[in-house]
Copies of this chain bind each other. A is one copy, B any other.
Amino acid sequence: MDERRLSTRPTMRDVADRVGLSIKSVSRVLNGDPGVSEAKAEHVLTVARELGFRRNDLARSLRLQDRTETIGVVVRQASTRFYDSLIRGIDEVAARHGALVLTATTQSAEREQSAVLALSSRRVDGLIIVPSGEDQSYLRAEAAARMPMVFVDRPARGISADTVVADNVAGGYAATQHLIARGHQRIGVIGTRSSASTMSERARGYRDACREAGLASEDLVRWNAHGQEGAQQACEELLGLAHPPTALFALNNVCTIGAVRALQGAQLSRQVALIGFDDFDTADLLNPPVTVITQDVEEMGRRAAEAIFSRIDGRPTTSRREKTVLPTTLIARGSGEIEPDRPVARRIGA
């Protein structure tokens, strides 16, 4: 109705003046504190609504000594499915605790630090971080101040903190085992950065399984397959070897899709088996349907959030760091069950 001067938002002062009460009484009403007569409380509420009052949580949190009822999440935007499920899990728990979840996404590992520190400066009550940078020692001050924080997917480096991860080694082992059991002797691996712990652990599981079966492995591992194109190229290179692998193990989502692309593109005389780490929406719709190792990312989010809130609520022996390792599961859909040297059927259509 009335044209306010210029983006000045009403304060409790304004409401109090309009109602003819003290600012404190207004505060009480607006926070549902007892000790204000029904009639006056009603009036305050009405006026607050008329004025479009929104409590300034900056001021409130400042006064409340850094309780912002907010937890910050920092993720690098890459494997989308991972992010989605993670947030879903976190949200579920945070909602129960009445906290707002604020996510900052970073497009590159370099920006991780600034995003995290920005959140810290805004005094979030806790931090859930999917580390993408090489080193998290920049969080030492927060650790010293006992800010609750949990690292998800990979452990932090340069600092000790709670961690929630999948059992990547076991997942890599299971995938490889699955292929070996079907007779594969040459299994190619496509991964992004060998420096990322998730990647290196999945590869370790692969190597363990190969060693146990008495197979060579190292010469069939291709790192630095970045993006779908990179993964596709790495696969094509593997498939072009004089003595090519009969099966592939893609260490993440993006690599898997790149591999599918490579396999569909190449005119191969033999079908090549494929197992991918991490599930994706259309995995069962591809031809052949893609066998994957899944991790329960939503559960990772839930566990991470629970860890945060138990620290926030100051659960007893708070100083010990906890590392939660969640199991992985193999979902057989077809691509991982292809046997070595199985001839390719005729293509559909044209």
Contact = CB atoms under 8 A, between A and B. Distances in A.
Interface of A: 4, 6-9, 51-59, 61-62, 66, 68, 70, 77, 80-81, 83-84, 87-88, 91-92, 95, 100-105, 107, 111, 115, 117-123, 140-142, 144-147, 257, 260-261, 264, 280-282, 285-288, 345-349
Contact of A58 (B111, B123, B286): B123
Contact of A104 (B102, B107, B147, B286): B102
A261 B9 CA distance: 52
Contacts of A61: 58
B281 A257 contact: yes
Given A280-B281, A286-B286, 19 more contacts: A4-B145, A7-B145, A52-B142, A54-B120, A54-B142, A77-B84, A80-B83, A91-B105, A91-B107, A92-B107, A95-B111, A257-B285, A260-B282, A260-B285, A264-B285, A280-B282, A281-B281, A287-B348, A345-B349
A142 B7 CA distance: 9
A187 B128 CA distance: 47
B58 A62 contact: yes
A11 to B, nearest CB: 11
Given A121-B57, A282-B282, A88 B107 contact: yes
Nearest to A73: B103
Contacts of A55: 121
A115 to B, nearest CB: 7
Contacts of A59: 62
Contacts of A77: 84, 87-88, 91
A80 B84 contact: yes
State the number of copies, please.
2
Contacts of A88: 77, 107
Top 3 A-B pairs ranked by shortest CB distance?
A52-B141, A7-B146, A57-B121
Contacts of A68: 58, 122
A72 B260 CA distance: 37
A141 B257 contact: no
Contact of A117 (B54, B118, B261, B287): B54
A288 B100 contact: no
B147 A7 contact: yes
Nearest to A253: B281
A348 B70 CA distance: 52
B145 A52 contact: yes
Contacts of A257: 281-282, 285
A115 B100 contact: yes
A7 B70 CA distance: 17
A261 B264 CA distance: 20
14 contacts: A4-B146, A6-B146, A7-B145, A9-B145, A53-B141, A56-B66, A57-B121, A58-B61, A58-B123, A77-B88, A101-B104, A102-B104, A103-B103, A261-B285
